[in-house]
């Protein structure tokens, strides 16, 4: 039995929650988040553009959205701050490789509550995280809109 794409997001969230639970306190969890960020593939200088920059983050954050032939979106990202790079890595585990519809249907706030990020992050980092999620959701919506326009124009 295959897992639905939205189920795959939930599975990724549950896996992250289990990993966080094993770590115990937030000092250990912060170290783990930073470690996750170190594993991000670096962006090229060209990808660190104004177009890819995420507004609303105190740190420098860039997200690249790559639509795939199968209709999913792959995200890549980077930041000049270690903890923010780790937050990007968490978002990529949740959102990358998913369809725009699944991205739009996923409840990011509930996910951050489940991971304990809502209460563990400063308000500035929480706002930045919301800005990153907003960017991912806008890119997904734009892709959905393009698909709809494409279908309409062929009809």
Q: pLDDT by residue (tens digit) across 44-61?
A: 999 999 999 999 988 999
Q: Is 17 a catalytic residue?
A: no
Buried b (16+ CB within 10 A) or exposed e, 110-146: ebbebbebeeebeeebbebbebbbebbbebbeebbee
pLDDT, one tens digit per residue, over 64-110 is 999 999 999 999 999 999 999 999 999 999 999 999 999 999 999 89
Choosing from 57, 84, 111, 136, which is the catalytic residue? 57
Residue 148 pLDDT more than 60?
no
Average pLDDT over residues 22-37: 92
Q: How confident is the model at residue 143 (pLDDT cuts 50, 70, 90)?
A: confident
pLDDT at 60: 95
């Amino acid at each position: 039995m295959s897992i639905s794409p939205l189920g795959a997001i939930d599975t990724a969230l549950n896996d992250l929650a289990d990993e966080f639970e094993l770590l115990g306190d937030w000092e250990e969890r912060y170290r783990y988040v930073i470690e996750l960020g170190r594993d991000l593939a670096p962006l090229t200088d060209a990808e660190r553009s104004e177009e890819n920059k995420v507004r609303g983050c105190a740190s420098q954050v860039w997200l690249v959205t790559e639509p795939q032939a199968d209709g999913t979106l792959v995200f890549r990202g980077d930041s000049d701050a270690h903890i923010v790079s780790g937050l990007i890595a968490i978002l990529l585990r949740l959102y990358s490789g998913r369809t725009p519809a699944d991205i739009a249907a996923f409840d990011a706030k509930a996910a951050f509550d489940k991971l304990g990020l809502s209460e563990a992050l400063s308000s500035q980092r929480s706002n930045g995280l919301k800005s990153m999620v907003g960017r991912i959701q806008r890119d997904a919506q734009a892709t959905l809109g393009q698909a709809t326009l494409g279908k309409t124009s062929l009809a």
